[in-house]
Amino acid sequence: MRLENKVAVVTGSASGIGKAIAEMFITEGAKVVYSDISEIPGFVESENAAFCRTDVSDSTEADALIAFAVEKFGKLDILVNNAGIGPTAELTATSDEMWNKVLAVDLNGTFYCLRSAAKYMKDNRINGSIINMASIMGLVGFRMASAYCAAKGAVNQLTKVSSLELAPDGIRVNSIAPGVIETAMTKDSLENPDARAYILGSTPLGKLGEPNDIAYAAVYLASNESKFVTGSVLYVDGGWTAQ
């Protein structure tokens, strides 16, 4: 098993990509703390899985999440910063509230959890792996998504800077940038025939991604197989950004 004896925190793991990552990590031998802003219906705690309700946009809750993982499972080797929101609106219709909320969760939340995990790993000399969830929207522009694009672009820069600072401590920091993945977050857009046709037509492989496509990438970046990989953005997008 590729993550045997590892302990991981996965934020935003109630559904979609985060849930797929958490489940695959457990399959690969890790102990996982699931984290989300709401309780997970039907969640059953086990020797390999625990839940910690967390609002990552609150730095004190982000710190408490990392502390919970260490208390529950004895250490922390892996952090996956997956929690995110993506409301859409035209630029001129984007309210202060929407803008601030997206950056609070998608950017600030990533920073708070990364900072807390990095401090723990440094202090305890753990050669950990921190994985930030970016997006193709951090590289290319999308109409109706100014806040989300800005946040994800910043996540990529945060990944690069933190990877440089943490490299001397043996802590790796990378991003995964998904293309369009079929999840609850993309459901409304994908139910629009015109939008679905546009997305499929813009994806060279001609199909949508699945949550497990991202989970496989996360396992690679969390495992020792990627021990010489840091500061990278791994695009899992069906070829979208190759154009």
CA distance 4 to 161: 29
* Positive or negative: CA dihedral 173, 179, 183, 188: positive
Tracing tokens 């997006």 back to the chain, one arrives at: 135
Burial letters 180-198, b for 16+ CB under 10 A, else e: bbebeebeeebeeeeeeee
Kindly give, in sequence order, each residue whose CB lies less than 8 Å from that of residue 158, ignoring residues fewer than 6 positions away. Answer: 107, 110, 111, 114, 132
Give the integer Cα–Cα distance in Å for 53 and 33.
10
Tokens representing 239? Answer: 């070829």
User: Regarding beta strands 7-11 and 129-133, do their DSSP bridges make them parallel or antiparallel, or are they unpaired?
Assistant: unpaired
Burial class (CB in 10 A: 0-12, 13-18, 19+), 105: buried
- Residues with catalytic annotation? 148
For residue 67, what are its two tokens? 């502390």
Burial label for 216, CB within 10 Å (0-12, 13-18, 19+), is middle
At 80, give phi and psi (nearest 5°). Answer: -115, 110
